[in-house]
Structure 1
């Protein structure tokens, strides 16, 4: 069963010292559904207001002890929401105006009144009172809601600030974790490089030198940072496919290999790509490793690619790899000096090598030769913190110990000096003469 909301019955307070007036007003309003309260004086009217909820007061002007103007003024001060009407005669018009001003009276009704007029005035007064009451309720509700919104906004701002701080902290942790992953990744790559160096034995350091020179060449060619890094990684790992080859084959220059040995040897580029492809970070490097023995004229291996078909990173590696291989004796039986190796590259322009890459590399070597003059050789006891290596530091077994451009600190200086003392070795290190940190 649906409950029906009931409309509250308006309550009228009639105040007059004449019983006949009160009776007449009571008879007039009661049939219209009003709740009627009466008082025979202003003091009695105030007493009624103390105990009853009243919507509208009709008070006579002329009353003993307290006239209607004073009564309504006191009622307004304590119960301002109650509508107020004043009954007055024409002789009281002056005091009526004063009463309207002091008591903020809604209307005055002249005696003798017309029933229809006073009924309409009361109806309009109650409607206005209802509108004002609703307005006050809406205003109070809006004020409460505004306050709640302010509190909610403040709470949201606090939560947003707190969440932002949390996200900032998480982001900082992720950045640290990402940097740590990058460091661990590079450590792993260098570890693989060291494994290759251990297999290469006496020619150790080749992969690191190729990687460093290839990255310098990539920078000189204006390649983006990501490609430079991929080329560097490919340089470190370009011989990883040789790990499965026998020692006797690794120790023999390519020019002295038999046809069968060359067939087996040439598989190392494909094996190297296969070893690196499972790592998404190394897929570009893996492509360069596969193709670094391709020739610009299409006679290389393993795929016989020609010209622009060869990945650019592989074309960079091809030049740098041959340059170092000529000097360590893995490409030809006779080892070449740096200058001889450089001269040996020139005939391969447009045949073995991309001419643009070769020209940039030859320019790089000229600059590197000029810069190499600005270095000096020191022994382990002469090392000082802040010195910068101008060349790779390689162990007696060919293992890369420290890369070129490494800045030595006091801890590392002490370790190198202790190592030299313990091994009884006369270590000579190439130090940049023009740079200290």
Structure 2
């Protein structure tokens, strides 16, 4: 395994079969805090990577014997954490696509390159590499600390082992989900929701309430369907970062936390942002979750943004989240009705919350519109189901864990699995179906 135990500087590896290009890169990076390594071919570079741990690679695409895409694919297997930059010519579009698919590159630069742009890309690559390494070290440190806790007593040992296995399983599932998002985005998010719902310290019902209320507020404010979908997802995963909190903070109502614990608790949106960081297509969702504790008057966390400097989705999420926190008795010892929760929100209108969003919530509550889990979808019993029927709405069990998504076409195997589920869990399901089965991919109302 390549190591840098004797290296004081991060290693930047430049690969090109043209000596003139390598000399140009050498002149560009001279005086910068890197250990610069040069290779005239992919094979030579791979041999070097057997001896050295490389932080950033800059590789040309067109090289004899082994092109840039093939080299970067092997480099990714040899050192997965290294940051990979590909240089291409203007006529290399097809080759660039191959490199993205095969070489797993992070960025590509067209020749002739801009020196400042390339220097900036290398700095970004080093930061990304360090973040990945720090995350792995932190994970290893947590595992080591969990092992040390076994010495307390036998009962505590069993609890720690159970929790450690649970966390490892959750982290493995999250990692698999991130890798599959491009192939099956909808299914991945549904499974991610089930991970939250199955955690004993979190609540799938709360997540559904916040999600559905965010979407309802979006409709009330006249937002486009795409933004309403982003709001629905932000509400559903607003507590995803709690998986990174200590166990004692995950299920404790906010009003019972000490000031120090509250400060630690309010870091969970940033944990969620880190978990979702590889999902580039969820940028709007990540932004809403990360800014959900910003306050309208600038007294919030973490950047003290003011007014409309806070993204609109975060302003909507904050109102929906706190409304349900009051209803779920997590912001106060008193369990609030809808009207009482609305009154609590109104008291901070213009200080903590966007007045426009509070007015929209007031309209929803006072017009008797159903919110959150108050929506019940009646349907057929499992015994009444027939092949060819299609789900009109998501199918959840009594614990609000998603069993089947909206739009699922029922066949004999699925119907049989539902029957076996009822028998095993001693639970009767009401399945909302539509015998006319349009392929409707719109958001669930």
Q: TM-score, normalised by structure 2?
A: 0.49
Pair member with larger Rg? 1
Q: TM-score, normalised by structure 1?
A: 0.50
**Which structure dedicates a bigger proportion of its chain to helix?**
1
